[in-house]
């Protein structure tokens, strides 16, 4: 059940909504408008990697790397 971000084209209100089905209708909570634009979520954009004890992903974030899991 993804949460999507929307901007109302009528009143410019930005909001998030839980959308259970792809064909479920969503309305603006501020003005009840249905002219909405789906926004790209910030968590879906970017190229950061998680830091781990021995560098960056794909190394395991375990406290100590070993067994060749760090690719080095």
pTM, 2 dp: 0.54
Instruction: Choose among 61, 7, 15: nearest CA to 35.
Output: 7
- pLDDT bin (cut points 50, 70, 90) of residue 26 is very high
Which residues partner with 56 through β-bridges?
51
Higher pLDDT, 19 or 29: 29
pLDDT given for residue 70 in this prediction = 57
35 inside domain: yes
The residues facing 38 across adjacent strands are 6
pLDDT in tens, 42-60: 665 555 555 555 555 555 5
**Are 16 and 42 within 8 A, CB to CB?**
no
Model pLDDT, residue 2: 82
The answer to whether the CB of 34 falls within 8 A of the CB of 25 is yes
What DSSP element (H or E) covers 5?
A: strand 3-8
Domain count, the chain: 1
Give me the CATH number covering residue 26.
2.20.28
Is residue 38 one of the residues assigned to a domain?
Answer: yes
């Amino acid at each position: 059940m993804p949460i999507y971000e929307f901007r109302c084209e009528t009143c410019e209100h930005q909001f998030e909504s839980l959308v259970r089905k792809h064909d479920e209708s969503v309305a603006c909570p501020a003005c009840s408008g249905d002219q909405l634009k789906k926004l790209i979520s910030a968590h879906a954009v970017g190229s950061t990697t998680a830091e781990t004890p021995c560098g960056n992903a794909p190394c395991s974030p375990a406290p100590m790397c070993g067994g060749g899991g760090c690719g080095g």
